[in-house]
Amino acid sequence: MATGTTTMAKDTILKVEHLSMKFGGLMAINDFSFEAKRGEITALIGPNGAGKTTVFNCITGFYKPTMGMLTLNRSNGKEFLLERLRDFEINKVAGVSRTFQNIRLFSGLTVLENLLVAQHNVLMKASGFTILGLLGLPTYKNAAKAAIEKAEYWLEKADLTDRADDPAGDLSYGAQRRLEIARAMCTGPELLCLDEPAAGLNPKESLTLNALLRGIRDEGTSLLLIEHDMSVVMEISDHVVVLEYGQKISDGTPDHVKNDPKVIAAYLGVEDDEVEEIEEKLDKGIIEEGTV
């Protein structure tokens, strides 16, 4: 596997450097860099069309970036350059797992089966690539039992134990969101990327989601999430990166970002003369970039 030459601080799990993505003439992401720390929840926010999902698709291998380097640092010390891995290897080898903005469950499979499919690679190895499993060897039987236990653990966490034998398509929207997260966790990732996990949830469901995400972080999985719901972002994230028109405009703790005039301008809009005013101040160095 591709091993990066740059040495990274031990506590950085993902380092994105100079990421650019071009669709024809459109520059969706322009020279975007940030770092996600191990054991933290990093949030990626920005107005609609800022390029957040494009960043996600680059990290998880659905797009090949035009430029840039994406380095993932696993806890065992191995480093992977994500842009060089094949799409499925990003999960299998590098341990990055993701969910989707528009939920992508296996709706015709039961909830339990969804979680078992997520453990495909482990089970595949245990079944000797199907051949030993067909012969009925105990290694596969034990692995299958362990897989069901792991699935049960995540069913419990996601509060879906009662629905284990129902088709995934039959679940309510909030439950489908939780199932998608549980499924992603069943692959045993080190970095979990969530694309708008709170979209379409009611306030109560939002709260349970927060608890679930915190639980995942406390068990040692780092999270990277895109979110519009500021109550979720400000509540649970340790680190926020703001993206607008494909460029980073702010980066820091939730409190820092909340008060950044550039972020406020991006979200609420400002009068034309105010923009000039801020730019003037920036030029003169009265206020420093990235501070209040």
- Binding residues (CB under 8 A) for another protein: these are 60-62, 87-92, 97-98, 100, 104-110, 112-113, 116-121, 123-124, 127, 129-130, 133-134, 148, 152, 155, 161, 164-170, 183-184, 187
Shortest Cβ 97–another protein spacing (Å): 7
Shortest Cβ 34–another protein spacing (Å): 22
Which is nearer to another protein, 134 or 230 (by Cβ)?
Answer: 134
The 3-state DSSP class for residue 152 equals helix
Q: With 0-12 CB in 10 A as exposed, 13-18 as middle and 19+ as buried, what is 66?
A: middle
Long-range contacts of 232-238 (CB under 8 A, 24+ apart): 232/197, 232/198, 232/206, 233/43, 233/45, 234/258, 235/210, 236/41, 236/210, 237/41, 237/42, 237/43, 238/37, 238/40, 238/41, 238/42
Shortest Cβ 152–another protein spacing (Å): 7
The 3-state DSSP class for residue 44 equals strand
DSSP 110: B
Rg (CA), the chain: 21
Shortest Cβ 283–another protein spacing (Å): 44
Which is nearer to another protein, 183 or 248 (by Cβ)?
Answer: 183
Which is nearer to another protein, 91 or 250 (by Cβ)?
Answer: 91
Which is nearer to another protein, 75 or 202 (by Cβ)?
Answer: 75
Shortest Cβ 106–another protein spacing (Å): 4
Which is nearer to another protein, 14 or 116 (by Cβ)?
Answer: 116
